[in-house]
Amino acid sequence: MKAAVVVFPGSNREGDMARALRQATGRQPAMLWHADHELPAGTDLVVLPGGFSYGDYLRCGAIAGRAAIMDAVRAHAARGGLVLGVCNGFQILCESGLLPGVLMRNANLRFICRMQHLKVERNDTAFTRHYAKGQTIDVCIAHGEGNYEADDSTIERLEGEGLVAFRYCDSAGIVGGDANPNGSRNDIAGVYSDGRNVLGLMPHPENLIDPLVGGTDGRGLFESLASAA
Amino acid sequence: MKARVVVTLRSGILDPQGKAIEGALKSLGVEGVASVRQGKVFDVEFAGADAAAAKAQLQTACEKLLANTVIENYQIDV
């Protein structure tokens, strides 16, 4: 597994992401700059980390979604290459057209930073093989704009084609209601592209890889990726 | 030549910021407010004087960057 992490001006989770990738794959990911035009040869996975790219100016992820490196990321995804976007990375994937929908301001208008349970919708993808289908995992969220919104036909298509990756749930695995932190349609925390080779999610699995800092439920995602290529 | 682009949320899209502003206006005693929707205004200056060309460029700008057409509409005035 050869991974590359893209750093935009204002990214701030790239160090955590690199650590999680190193732990799972045994090798240091390449760190790319937003102004780069190509990925290192043989890249299997491109990761867009969390943060506040371009200070969230215009719309979260809007300017990063049009950065020079994104043409290479789009070409990589079109070839079936793996792409992971977390938090601001998810917002960038939506703004770049790699994933449908948009992440709007949290319904309660607050920046929410806390632990959050998620339900793993399917475990037959490159991102989730090391989880069980329907498993509840405990990770963390830290966002002000995580309220997933798309038009009715898009939501219907995501649901019908099994493209919802994770949903917000409570510790008992019950989806929705008060367990939905931000007002997301259908309690959606993460979605796949049509080919299921692109995943965007708001929660931060890269911060839950060490028992010293609260748990290891995030490891499954990186171990899945490590064994995917 | 000056142009203005106004980007607004599509109807039916929940606007929590507009709602919060609406609440604040009511608490300030501004009466008769039925609803508030928040949008964005871009003032763009063009070097040339070709209005049709400017409008076409702004159309591209809106579709590519200024508006997210999943949730927003835009209006161009040159």
Contact B68 A109 (CB under 8 A): no
The residue type at A9: P
Cα(A59)–Cα(B25) distance, integer angstroms: 25
Q: How many CB pairs under 8 A join A and B?
A: 36
- Predicted confidence at residue B2, as pLDDT, reads 96
User: Which segments of chain A have a pLDDT < 70?
Assistant: none
Residue B47 has pLDDT above 80, yes or no: yes
Contacts of B68 in chain A (CB under 8 A): 59, 62, 95, 102
- Predicted confidence at residue B13, as pLDDT, reads 86
**CA nearest to B41 within chain A:** A58
Write out the DSSP string of A109-171: ---EEEEEEEEE--S-STTTTTS-TT-EEEEEEEES--EEE--HHHHHHHHHTT-EEEEEE-T
The domain spanning residue B9 has which CATH number? 3.30.1280.10
The domain spanning residue A208 has which CATH number? 3.40.50.880
Counted domains in chain B: 1
- Predicted confidence at residue A229, as pLDDT, reads 73
- Predicted confidence at residue B68, as pLDDT, reads 95
User: What does the DSSP 8-state code read for residue A40?
Assistant: P
**CA nearest to A105 within chain B:** B16
Counted domains in chain A: 1
Q: State pLDDT tens for residues B3-39.
A: 999 999 998 888 888 998 999 999 999 999 999 999 9
Name the pLDDT band for B69 (thresholds 50, 70, 90): very high
Q: State pLDDT tens for residues A48-95.
A: 999 999 999 999 999 999 999 999 999 999 999 999 999 999 999 999
Domain that holds residue A108: 3-226
- Predicted confidence at residue B12, as pLDDT, reads 85
Taking the Cβ of residue A102 and every Cβ of chain B, the question of whether any pair is shorter than 8 Å is answered with yes
- Predicted confidence at residue B16, as pLDDT, reads 84
Contacts of B13 in chain A (CB under 8 A): 104, 149
Please enumerate residues of B whose Cβ is less than 8 A from a Cβ of A. Answer: 13-14, 16-17, 20, 64-66, 68, 70-71
- Predicted confidence at residue A182, as pLDDT, reads 97
- Predicted confidence at residue B15, as pLDDT, reads 87
- Predicted confidence at residue A18, as pLDDT, reads 98
- Predicted confidence at residue A218, as pLDDT, reads 98
- The answer to whether A202 touches A146, Cβ cutoff 8 Å, is yes
Domain that holds residue B61: 2-77
Q: What is the mean pLDDT of chain B?
A: 94
Which residues of A participate in catalysis according to the annotation? 87, 204, 206
